[in-house]
Structure formats: structure tokens, C-alpha cells
Structure 1
Amino acid sequence: MEANRQDRDDEPEVPMTATVFSHGGPWTEAEYLAFGETRDRVELFDGSLHVTPAPTPRHQHISRRLGNALEHGAEAAGLHVLEAVNVRLRPGRIPIPDLVVTGEIDFDESVVDGSAVRLVCEISSPGNAATDKVLKMHYYATARIPWYLLVEQETGTLRLHRLDGGHYVEHAVAKPGDTLQLTEPVVAEIRPEDLLPGR
């Protein structure tokens, strides 16, 4: 039995691109989840896959600093801060936000239900700005996630949006030199310059 397991471990991994391009027709949620963990960030939008390379060190530095800034307030509110998890907004629509603040979840499930998400954060760069500012913003609003925080990767500028009916409205903006004061769903103060490398 051990030998069989070893044989499987020695088999070359099929590249993600080969799997994606050889697939015919829309992707189901079951097929998407069968990928498991990958080096690429793979999201499912209504039968289509959105594949992006692993984030840059700058992106990851901002994500870690932002998570740290939210952690204390989240713990005080009985909430959780999670980075880069699958979030099911509805069947067949599973993005991977850069960071989420959630209520109670099952930590062993591969997908977090969108109804548990209180705040969703995306770190935007010129290469993905349209996706974060239009497509994902619309999807998160449709899923009725109360708060959406967009971070501009180059400057650290923070744009906090709150759900108003079926769409988001800009609630607060903090540019370098300013401080974003969060009162919901967590209490936190975030300075854009504290998120950037070299600070």
C-alpha cells in the first residue's frame, strides 16, 4: 500500500493550464473544488474560471499588515480574519478574496459561505483593478456582504464601501497621511502607510 502511495507521489503533476484548456464546456462547482490547493489563484464565476498567478510580495505584505490591523477588533467582536479562502457567494460563484472578516464558520470546510462574511477586502493593482472595482464589487453586493474594503496596492489608499440596498456606496476614503476609522464590523484604525513595505 505504501509503495502505491509513493508511486502516486512520484507522478508528474499535470500543469494547471493543461487541465483548464483541455476542459470542454462550463465548469461545475464540483469540478472546481476537485482542483484542491494550487499554486495559482483560481476562482469560479458562473461556469468560467478566472486564473491569476500567485500574488506579488508587495501584495502579500499589505495583506498580512491589513489582517494584523483587523485582528484585535475581530477577536473582540467574536469574529475571524482569514486570508485567501474560497467564498461561495452562490452555487457556482466562488471568488477568493484577499481577506475576509467572518462570523462563525467550519474551519475544516474548503468553502466559506458568503452569508458568514461581514467584511470582504481586495488589494487592487493596475492589472486587476477592473475585476476588483466592477466585477467582484457587483458580485459581493449581490451576495449582500455588508462591507467592502478596497486597498490600492501602489499607495495603500483605502476605500471603504457599505452596502446600500443592492449596491455599494463609498463610505470613507483614507489616503497616505489619513487614518481609516472602522466601527463596523470591527473597531480598528488603519493608516495606509503602515500597510506598505519599508515602513
Structure 2
Amino acid sequence: MTAMAPADRDFPWTEEEFLALDEIADRVELWDGDLRVSASPTPWHQHVITELLIALRLPSRERGLRVHSAINLRLKPNRIVIPDLTITSAIDFHERVVPSDLARLVCEVTSPSNAATDRVLKMHYYAEAGIPWYLVVEHVTAGLWLYRLEGEKYELDGVAEQGETLRLVEPVTAEIRPESLLP
């Protein structure tokens, strides 16, 4: 479940204050001055992301790209999110925050507590940041919904449910079957 934190603070957080938190156990994102704290993902969620990362690792390297799980991604000043998975061009591995112009694809795995955030708000944020591809993995079935940025919004590019294959040609070439992601 996502919550605003800390509850007793009545003024916005700056990016500098956010970064001063250093590494903490919770997933903390900065959304326009507000901190959003999420519980650690479930083992199911983590398994799906790991399998997806494995499926995209070699195709990413073949294109000179890298795939990462749970990195700090700066969409704009004072908006730093943590996508479940991100494919980027070359990044500085010593920097805590990756600029969004290096992201080629972001992926979110929905859960009952965040499905609307991933399908609406984060989709809008990623489009606004100009990230070319957005992949949504549906909770329980691992259905895959791939979106391509057209202008200022995402258009559906492909869908794969159980028994089907999602074929990516950009930013990497890969075929993914939803059932291959499941535990």
C-alpha cells in the first residue's frame, strides 16, 4: 500500500532533502514535493520482475542497453520514481538517480493496492517525461500490455494474455509469454 510520509510534515520536500534520506529499506518516491512510501513487493511481484529482467537482459545488451530493477528515475525536478524495471542507454552507475532521457522502456507490475496508480498516474508521468515505451504487467495473470509513446500520450502497441506471446521490436527484440513469468 502506498502512503504519504511523514504525516506531520506540512510543506513540500525538495529533491535535495529526498536524496539526503540516503538508502533506506522502504521504497520511497518523490512526487512533486510529497514522499510516497510503498511496502516491499510481494514474493510473486519480485519473481515476475526477476523473470522479466532475465528475459530482457541479453536482448538489451545486444542493443547496447541495460536493464535494471528498482532504480531511482528522475522524471523532472522533484519527481523521482522507482519503476519495477527500466531499460536504459548508458548510465553512470555511481549516481543515485538516473535521468529519464536515458530510459527507453519502463515497466510496472500492478498489484491490488497500486493498479490505478500504474495504469493512470504513472502512465501519465512517464509519457510527460518522454519515455518511449511503457510495459504494464497485470497482477495474478501476468498479462502484458505494451504502450508506445505517440506525441504526448501512450498508445497500445501489443497485448499478451496467458497462451499468447508479446513481441517487442523496440527498444529491444524479444518475445515474452506471460506464463513464463509466473512462479
Q: TM-score range by the shorter chain?
A: over 0.9
SS at match of 2:28: strand
What is the match of residue 72 of structure 1? 58
Distance in structure 2 (CA, Å) of the matches to 1:178 and 1:139:
29
Match of 1:99 in 2: 85
Q: Which runs of 5+ in 2 are unaligned?
A: none
2:181 alignment partner in structure 1: 195
Contact kept? 1:39, 1:53, Cα under 8 Å:
no
2:127 to 118, 141, 149: 141
Cα distance in 2 for residues equivalent to 1:167 and 1:56: 30
- Aligned with residue 50 of structure 1, among 36, 39, 44: 36
Following superposition, the deviation at residue 21 of structure 1 comes to: 2.9
In the alignment of these two chains, the number of paired residues is 180
**TM-score in terms of structure 2 length:** 0.96
**TM-score (norm. length: structure 1):** 0.88
CA offsets, 1:98-132, max 9 Å, x none?
00000011000000000000000000012101110
> Which whole-Å deviations, capped at 9, do the CAs of 1:33-76 have from their partners, x for residues lacking one?
11112221111110111111011000000000000000110000
d(CA) in 2 for partners of 1:27, 1:36 = 14
Unpaired stretches in structure 1, ≥5 consecutive residues? 1-16
Which structure dedicates a bigger proportion of its chain to strand? 2
Of 96, 99, 104, 1:118 maps to: 104
User: Which residue of the partner structure matches residue 25 of structure 1?
Assistant: 11
After TM superposition, where is structure 1 displaced by more than 4 Å over at least 4 residues in a row? Answer: none
In the alignment, the residues of structure 2 paired with residue 125 and residue 21 of structure 1 have an alpha-carbon distance, to the nearest angstrom, of 24
**What's the CA shift string for 1:141-178, capped at 9, x where partnerless?**
00000000000121010000000110001110000100
